[in-house]
Each structure stands twice: as C-alpha cells, then as structure tokens.
Chain A
Amino acid sequence: MNAARPWPVLAAALSAMLILAVAAGHDWAGPADLLRAATGHDDLRSRLLIDWRLPRVLAAACVGALLGLGGAVFQGVFRNPLAEPYLLGSAGGAALGASVALLVPLGLPQAPLLAMLAFLGAWGATFVVMAIARLAGTVDAAGLLLAGVAVAAVLGALRSFLMLALSDDTVNLQVVLSWSLGGVQTPRWPALAGLMLATLVGLAATLPLARGLDLLGLGDTMAAGFGQDVRGFVDRAVLVGAAVVALAVAFGGLVAFVGLAAPHVARWLVGPLHRALLPAAALVGAILVTAADALARSALPPAEIPLGLVTAVAGGPFFIVLLARQLRP
C-alpha cells in the first residue's frame, strides 16, 4: 500500500513538475531555453521565463499546497474522506468574502481586506455546515455533503447577486468572474514571497494538529477516553483549516477537488497518520495544481482555460468514484 520511499519520490515529482510547468505555455520553452534562463542570460526569452512564468508556477504550487493541507485538515476533522473545502462550503464562503472585498466599496486597502473577509467567509461557512451536521446528529458522508451543498448553493447565490447588483463601470466584473472560476494570477516577487511564507506558516500551523487529528480518527468516545477535549479541538482545527483554505482562495480563486484528491493520493503514499499525511498532502496538492495550471496555460493557445475548470473536469470523476465506493454498503 505504501511506497517504500515516498518522500524522495514526492520531492522529485514536484521538482520535475515545476520545471515542466515553467517550460509549458502557448510557446513552449526547450531545455536550452531553460538552461539559458537558469544561468542568468539577459535575453527577452529568459526574462519572460524568469519574471513571468516562474512566479506564476511557484504561486500555483503554493495554492496547491494550501488546498492539499486544507483538504487534509478537513478530512481529518470530519473523519470523512469525502470532505473537501470546495464541497463543504468553506471555499464558497471564502469566495463570498473575497467578492465582497472586490465589489463593495468599503474604502479600505483591498489586499488585507480580501484575505480577512475570505477567512471569515471560509470559517463561517464551515461552522454553519458543522452546526447543521451536529444539529441533525449526523456526521456521515451523505448528511455532511448535503449540508455542504446546501450552504454552498446559498453562498453561490449571494455571490452572484453581489456581482449583478454591484458591478458597474468602476468595477471590473471580468476580474471577479475569472477569479471565481479559479485561476492563479502572475504575482510580483514581493507578493510571491508573501504567499510562500504564508504557505510555510500554514504548514507550521497545521502540523501541531496532527496528533489530535489521529486521536479524532478513533471516534469521539475513544478520543475523549484518551484525554482529548474533542469539541475544543474540532473548533480549533476548523479555524486553522479555514485560514489555510482562505489563503488558497485569496490567491487562487475557486479551485475544486484538489483538496479532495491530494489527501487521498498522500494517504496511498505515506499512510493515514497525519504527521506524515499533512506535509504529503501539501506536496501532492502542489504537484496537482502546478500541473493543472500548466495545462490551463498551454492546452488551447492563445486562450487560457480557467484553472478551476481544469481541476473540476479532472477531479469530478475522481470524486464520483470515491463517493460510489464509500456509499456502497
């Protein structure tokens, strides 16, 4: 079930994917181009690769890592391999918060406001889904997913209303729309540094949850018997998970199914213990989104396919297979 050496394999796969993604585009770069750019040649093509493609590729990897982490945390908290930020409403909540920041003229600096509102949206939506599940006394796959679908639908409607009601000449509706379809913008270097730092902080914030998530996986009774304050831990873990998802959504828009698939692949590679699963899910998420973003840039030149569409088309069938396997008696 487990690969003998999962970490070297993951690291090698990520490196290879990053290089491939830098090369990919409507104008593919060859090994010679990459070598010239890497060795600091100052021609136009090298500058394009270093200043334009590389930051975008790294940003995509960070967004993927955050989505993988968020997915692993949520699957651990809900003890459900079908839990996913996108399906549980937390990504939708983050999107609503971000849309408010983009569309409603609040007169505040937009970047911190967007991150803050995205976090509040993600946390609030997850909390509502969890409250519905607790109220109904159900945490099984179907109940949880239905609650998530209902909440996501309401949040999506609110977001559409905002877009219709508030878009005017001063607001670029196109920006909001393409963002909500999922897509990594090419960041400037300072913004990229911030995102990479945030990704590391996200990893550092989720790792201390590992043992608690393992205990939670034993079931409420065993976890409590082993000295865990189950409710307090779940609330704390959801807070951290929502923050991680909000970061991913703030930088990458709505990207579906990566948070679902990455922890699954990671579980095949390193097993279900969260101390290994969390970093592995981050690596797998980074690989997946880097690949999807490269595909989005290079599949239909000169147009660019929204990233969220690529992951949805690839991830939807994956989810259906998992659902069928879990719901089968």
Chain B
Amino acid sequence: MTHRSAATTVGLSAQGLGLQRGGTTILADITLSLPATGSVALIGPNGAGKSTLLRALAGLLVPDHGTVRLGDRPVAALPTAERAATIGFLPQHFAPHWDLRVVDLVRLGVERGGTASPDAAATDSVAAVLAAHGLGPLAQRRWSALSGGERARVLLAMVLAVDPPVLIADEPGASLDVRHRIGVVDGLARRGRDRLCIVAMHDLDLAFRAFDRVVLLAGGRLAAAGTAADLFHDRRLDRAFGVDFMRLETPHGRLLQAVARPDDADIGSGRN
C-alpha cells in the first residue's frame, strides 16, 4: 500500500441530499462529511434509506436535491471511468447472469468500464489480484461451482481490484454464516486505516465494535453521527430502532441487547 498524505486524499461529503420516489420521501436533507480515511458504519431500521444513501454517495443514483462531493469535486461531474476507479461499490446482492469463471469476473473488475488495457498488463494485474485475495486455486472455477463464502471473496476481489480510495458496501456478507460475515466486515473495517470505507449493516454489535464512526439513519433523515464510542450511549439509537437497548460493556467490546417495548408486543403475534 502506498502512503497517502493527508493533503492529497479525499473525503466524501453530502450536502442537503433529498430524494422522492412516487410521492414518498426516501431521503431528506442529509448533510454529512466523512474524512478521507476511516471506517464508517451506516445503521438504521429497515426502510431508513441506507441503500439509497449509499448509492447516492457512490454516484450510482442522482438525488433530486443536493450534491455529493469527493474532496471538492461533485461526484456527478466525475468522468465515469474515474468515478469507477475511485469509488468501489459492493452491492448487497450479486448474481452474474452468465456463468463466468473467477478469472473473467476479476478481470472485469480490473479493467472497469472504459479502460481497455493491453492484454499482457491486464493478465498480470488479474493474477496479482487473484493472489492477493487467495483466489489463485479458484481462478478457473465457474461462478455456479463456488460456495457462498467463495462467492463473497470473489465479489470483494472484483470490487477491490483497483484498490479504490473509497469503498461503499451495502450489507456485505448478509447472506453468509457468522464466521464468513465477520471475516468480510472486519476486513472492510480494517481498510479504514488508510482508506475510506462506508458499510451499511444490520449487526449493531459488529458496527460498534469494528468501526471508528457510526452514522444513524431513520426515516430518510440523518438521526445521529459520531464516533462509535459516543454514539453507543446515545438515546437516539433507541428512538430510531423503536426498542430499548441494554448497553453492556464487556472485555471483548460493547454489546447492545434490544428489549421490545410493551406496546410493540403485537408485532410478532399476528394480531393488530
């Protein structure tokens, strides 16, 4: 990893983001500034707008209001090839339509959209990416022949192939068992040491344990943002999720135990 000085690295910021779809407000007036390096967990209840916010931050979706900036440049104004090389986006679901080999998938990640590199150079970088992610033995395997954990690693290798300074991930490893999920998420959080890594997730304990900063979204609005240590004790967390949290400090980190409120007792019972 090359060293990056603070002056040349870029942070990601959002100014007054708003988005409506079919009369429903998905995002409203989100202003957020993220440093050039660091790991950020994006949390919030279902339908809070996490995925939409991530897509807007990644430049994959143009908001109705507001701007996303990478450093001092609007993301929307970046040439697509540059945007693709700078901001990596790890989608929640990935299912390629054709049964490609691992080496082909990684190659698509290496070359990105516009950059058609000479064959030899591309082959070298593909081999390097495969080796870096421990996928060498799987290179010739087809997608359909991979296990869930292997697929997650291939997807990660594709997105990280160009080592983007910013990585945005939407519930990575959501479909994996706990061991693989923690492996993926911890790896992403570690990228925050010299990159910016923004991860939406449902596992609050993992969010508060592994990430520097936490951003809380509720009803399309920014409910709270701060360091993981500060936000852990914030009562807005309870309000956003509609539960009461018991906060446990353990030798291995902070734990949140959710307790349903008495008036919510009907949610699971099927009665209204």
A227 touches B98 (CB 8 A): no
**A218 and B108: CB pair below 8 A?**
yes
Q: Is the CB of B84 within 8 A of A227?
A: yes
Please tell me if A224 contacts chain B, counting CB pairs below 8 Å.
yes
Say yes or no: is A273 at the interface (Cβ < 8 Å to chain B). yes
Chain B, Cβ-Cβ closest to A79: B97
Question: Do residues B108 and A225 form an inter-chain contact, with CB atoms below 8 A?
Answer: no
Bound complex: CA A272 to CA B99 (Å): 7
Q: Do residues A214 and B113 form an inter-chain contact, with CB atoms below 8 A? A: no
B244 within 8 A of A: no
- Answer yes or no: A217 CB below 8 A from chain B CBs: yes
Give the complex CA separation of A221 and B84 in angstroms. Answer: 12
Question: Chain B's interface: helix, strand, loop or mixed, by majority?
Answer: mixed
Over the window 263-286 of chain A, the binary record of Cβ atoms lying under 8 Å from chain B Cβ atoms (1 yes, 0 no) is 000010001110000000000000
Query: Does residue B38 face the partner (Cβ distance < 8 Å to A)?
Result: no
User: How many whole Å from A131's CB to the nearest CB in chain B?
Assistant: 19
Are B100 and A217 in contact, with the CB atoms below 8 A? yes
Instruction: List the B side residues contacting A226 at CB < 8 Å.
Output: 84, 108-109, 112-113
Q: Give the CA-CA distance A273 to B102 in the complex, in Å.
A: 12
Does A228 lie at the interface of the complex (its beta carbon under 8 Å from any beta carbon of B)? yes
Q: Please tell me if A215 contacts chain B, counting CB pairs below 8 Å.
A: yes
Indicate if the CB atoms of A218 and B114 lie closer than 8 Å: no
Which residues in chain B, 97-152, are within 8 Å of chain A measured between CB atoms? 97-101, 104-105, 108-109, 111-114, 116, 142
- Counting CB contacts under 8 A, is A211 at the interface? yes
- Size of B's binding interface in residues, CB under 8 A: 32
Instruction: Assess the B108–A214 pair: CB atoms within 8 A.
Output: yes
A219 contacts the other chain (Cβ, under 8 Å)? yes
Contact in complex: A221, B99 (CB < 8 Å): no
Chain A, interface SS category: loop
Which single residue of chain A is at the shortest CB-CB distance from B104?
A273
Chain A residues contacting B158 (CB-CB under 8 Å) are 222
Q: Contacts of B142 on A, CB cut-off 8 Å?
A: 1
- A215 B104 Cβ-Cβ under 8 A: no
How far, in angstroms, from A226 to B91 measured CA to CA in the complex?
12
Asked if B101 and A215 sit within 8 Å, CB to CB, the answer is: no
Cβ–Cβ < 8 Å partners of A51 in chain B: none
B95 within 8 A of A: yes
* Contact indicator B60/A221 (Cβ below 8 Å): yes
- Chain A residue numbers with a CB within 8 Å of B30 are none
- B-contacting residues, A144-188, CB 8 Å: none
Verify A272–B94 contact, CB threshold 8 A: no
Task: State whether A222 and B94 are in contact (beta carbons under 8 Å apart), knowing that A227-B83, A271-B101 are contacts in the complex.
Answer: yes
Interface residues in chain A, defined as those with a beta carbon under 8 Å from any beta carbon in chain B: 1, 79-80, 211, 214-215, 217-219, 221-229, 267, 271-273
Question: 8 closest pairs, A vs B, by CB?
Answer: A227-B113, A227-B84, A272-B98, A225-B89, A79-B97, A227-B80, A217-B97, A221-B91
A-B contact pairs, 29 of them (CB 8 A): A79-B98, A80-B97, A214-B98, A214-B104, A214-B108, A215-B108, A217-B96, A217-B98, A217-B100, A218-B94, A218-B97, A221-B91, A222-B89, A224-B89, A225-B60, A225-B84, A225-B91, A225-B159, A226-B84, A226-B108, A226-B113, A227-B81, A227-B112, A228-B80, A228-B113, A229-B80, A271-B101, A272-B98, A272-B99
